[in-house]
Amino acid sequence: MRNPTFEFTRAITRRPASTIASGLRAENVGNPSLDGMLAAHAAYVAALRSTGAKVIELDPLEAFPDAQFVEDTALCLPQGAILMRPGAPSRLGEVAEMAPTLRACYGDVREITGPGHIEGGDILVTGKEILVGRSDRTDAEGVAELAEIAAEWGHSLREVFTPEGVLHFKTDCSLMDAETILSTKRLDASGCFEGYRVLHVADGEEAAANAIRFNNLVLMAAGFPCTAEILDIAGYEIAEIDNTDCAKLDGGMSCLSLRF
């Protein structure tokens, strides 16, 4: 029987637009290279497809320079999809652009109508619950509205808190399997993962915490050898993807796809 927390048959991605240099970022560490982003995108899609999954590649959206970070637009669950309401005003229009694709994939598509805000980067679906991190992009009202929809589909939701200065909850954690979470020490110290098996990323490699388990693979950013070794020893098959340019826009592995 398929485990819907990490075993998927489909994914949705979007190719980066030529306007990516206008994308949001917490700190300006230089503009990303479009060629670099496109090469990394191709490697990412190839890794997803190598597991046997069907990958839907959407066209770039020049009007939305952050639109390649499709995860923030929706939450995909076995029962249906829920369209999010991003906390960054410049990203609100991305949801309407994603909606037709999700409606073609799902018979039941709900939406967060507001006034609250919530982004997919703050949502971690585990084998027993949905964890939602409050952040600058996800507020209490958004979490409450999502909880109502999730409850209708039989999911329990627990609100937790993202460390100060961290963009999204999943910036600092990712699901390795239904009961195992890869996390930074600072996030795990909050106690939000009590009852789970937790693997800590190596000191100084906190950016490695944003990864994805996709079927037999763990896709992680390249350049974090100590964390890669930790995952290898734990028995996970790793695919390392160049995240150099994506990271300049505060992006990581989970941001780049919707998985279901």
Annotated catalytic residues are 168, 255
Pairwise CA distance, residues 199 & 219, whole Å: 16
Closest Cα partner for 68 from 220, 245, 221, 216? 245
Question: If we measure between CA atoms, which residue out of 140, 10, 120, 142 comes closest to residue 74?
Answer: 120
SS3 for 137-202, per residue? CCCHHHHHHHHHHHHHCCCCEEEEECCCCCCCHHHCEEEEECCEEEECHHHHCCCCCCCCEEEECC
Residue 168 main-chain phi, psi, to 5 deg: -125, 155
